[in-house]
Amino acid sequence: MKIIRVNSYEEMSRKAADLIGEEINRKPDLVLGLATGSTPKGTYAQLVSDYEKGKVDFSLVRTVNLDEYAGLSPESPHSYRYFMNTQLFDHINIDPANTHIPDGLSDEEEECARYEQLITSLGGIDLQLLGLGHNGHIGFNEPADEYARYTHPVELTESTIQANSRLFENVRDMPRRALTMGVGTIMQAERILLIVSGEGKREALKQTLSGPIRPDFPASVLQLHRDVTVIAEADVF
């Protein structure tokens, strides 16, 4: 793994956006895997700014998001589709038809099979952006007895529900299920960019970089990938 220590959230976001921009400039029809959560917000703001300055062109880029809550419509302000539209897609020249996120309202199993097939039909993921859950989840791959190979429905853990419910008015409104790319789907990406911010992620980062590789801490599997870049704030180490 290539590890880049930075001094601030802004620097992390700047470096992550630079790396993504370089990949798009190298391959204009990049298949870009995207993540949600607080961590990538600054990266998306930087990408919007780079687009406005003419430094990056999204017209041919295809995107696939990691995950979506089950039961939320794309219009729900809590859905990941809504997050991506408002944080990034609405502000750049990407073709909306080229932006893909699992549909939280469809039959779960059918939608997961469709989504996995879609990623295959795009030729796989060139660059996957990841955040890190406190419990080591990537996408919504929660700690488990085994790694999930493909996109699949999941029951969210209590730890994730508590962590993410801050974005809902009431913890009861938060979905208990989600659809997520599998660890296998993520590991097949050509290149992975993991961004980590906040002292609360210190133990999770340590386990990711040097803990035992085990499915009950899903991000540890990244140690086996041949091309991972980690950009993290110095105080998370």
Q: Which residues in this chain contact ligand GLP in the complex, by CB under 6 A?
A: 35-39, 66-67, 131-133, 139-140, 160, 164
- Rank residues 29 and 147 by Cβ distance to ligand GLP and give the closer one: 147
Sign of the C-alpha dihedral computed for residues 166, 176, 142 and 100 taken in this order: negative
Question: At its nearest, how many Å lie between ligand GLP and the CB of residue 43?
Answer: 11
- Rank residues 132 and 193 by Cβ distance to ligand GLP and give the closer one: 132
Residue 143 is classified by DSSP as S
Active site residue 126: no
- Rank residues 160 and 220 by Cβ distance to ligand GLP and give the closer one: 160
Question: At its nearest, how many Å lie between ligand GLP and the CB of residue 53?
Answer: 26
Question: At its nearest, how many Å lie between ligand GLP and the CB of residue 39?
Answer: 3
Sign of the C-alpha dihedral computed for residues 28, 31, 32 and 34 taken in this order: positive
Residue 104 is classified by DSSP as T
User: 3-class DSSP state for residue 114?
Assistant: helix
Non-local CB neighbours of 10 within 8 Å, separated by 6+ positions: 42
Active site residue 91: no
- Rank residues 57 and 215 by Cβ distance to ligand GLP and give the closer one: 215
Amino acid letter, 71: G
- Rank residues 159 and 188 by Cβ distance to ligand GLP and give the closer one: 159
Question: At its nearest, how many Å lie between ligand GLP and the CB of residue 21?
Answer: 21
CA distance 70 to 79: 9
Q: Which of 23, 98, 100, 135 is catalytic?
A: 135
Active site residue 170: no
The strand pairing partners of 62, in sequence order, are 31
CA distance 193 to 181: 16
Q: Which of 137, 152, 164, 233 is catalytic?
A: 137
Beta strand segments in the chain, E: 2-6, 31-34, 62-65, 67-69, 99-100, 127-130, 152-155, 177-180, 191-196, 228-233
Q: Which of 67, 68, 116, 126 is catalytic?
A: 67
Active site residue 98: no
Question: At its nearest, how many Å lie between ligand GLP and the CB of residue 133?
Answer: 5
Q: Which residues are catalytic?
A: 67, 135, 137, 142
